[in-house]
Amino acid sequence: MKSDELKNVEEENFKIEDAKPEDVEAIRAIVKDAWLEIYPNEKYGITTEDISAIDWFNSESLATRRKEIIENKDTVHTFVFKNDKKEIVGFCKVLKFKDYGEIDAMYVIPELQRRGLGKKLLLKGLEWLGSDLSIRLVVVKYNFNAIEFYKKFGFKETGNKVVYEGTQLSSGKDIPRIEMIKKATLVN
């Protein structure tokens, strides 16, 4: 079988679904693994220990995410990619505000990257957000693969300073981030 044929066969084994509350732990495990692989960085002094020290499965934050999936369907939506064994292999979380949309988080497990799954997830998130709002995202400054990926979909770096108040490192160090925007394509 040719590699293109194999790729198409493989992609048929994956399905995008709406996240359910019981998916939260699997989503967090994907984030944890991605952060451990991507974010330690000698130049910025971010260590594996910094990332490992994060309480990835804090019961309060897991409960908040479960509640968000159930109660905030109009403003927060998470799509999960599942394989034929119903295991989550990627996800995209999007937020809708009055004046803009946001790609809050998007990850695909490393062994399935560069197979078009991220593209399908992002397109699903963008479709849900619509084209009448500009869409914002924040990405780690040295995550060049992600930056280039988003550029292919029309996102551009803004140069705006990013103050991130999400996950904090116990060392007090900050993971440097940049903002990217995709302008609305529909004009009212």
Kindly report, residue by residue over 117-153, the tens digit of the pLDDT.
889 999 999 999 998 999 999 999 999 999 999 999 9
Contacts of 157 (CB under 8 A, 6+ apart): 147, 178, 179, 180
Token pair, residue 49, equals 């220990």
Percent of the chain past pLDDT 70, that is, above it, reads 90
Given strand 88-96, what is the order of strands in its sheet? 15-18, 76-82, 88-96, 100-108, 134-140, 177-182, 156-157
Q: How confident is the model at residue 12 (pLDDT cuts 50, 70, 90)?
A: low
Please provide residue 4's backbone torsions phi and psi, each rounded to the nearest 5 degrees: -65, -40
Cβ atoms of residues 19 and 78 within 8 Å: yes
Q: Which domains does the chain have, with CATH numbers?
A: 3-131 (3.40.630.30)
- What pLDDT was estimated at residue 6? 35
Give the model confidence (pLDDT) of 14-60 as tens digits.
889 999 999 999 999 999 999 999 999 999 999 999 999 998 998 99
- Percentages helix, strand, coil for the chain (3-state, rounded to 5) are 35, 25, 40
When pLDDT is cut at 50, 70 and 90, the band that residue 183 belongs to is: very high
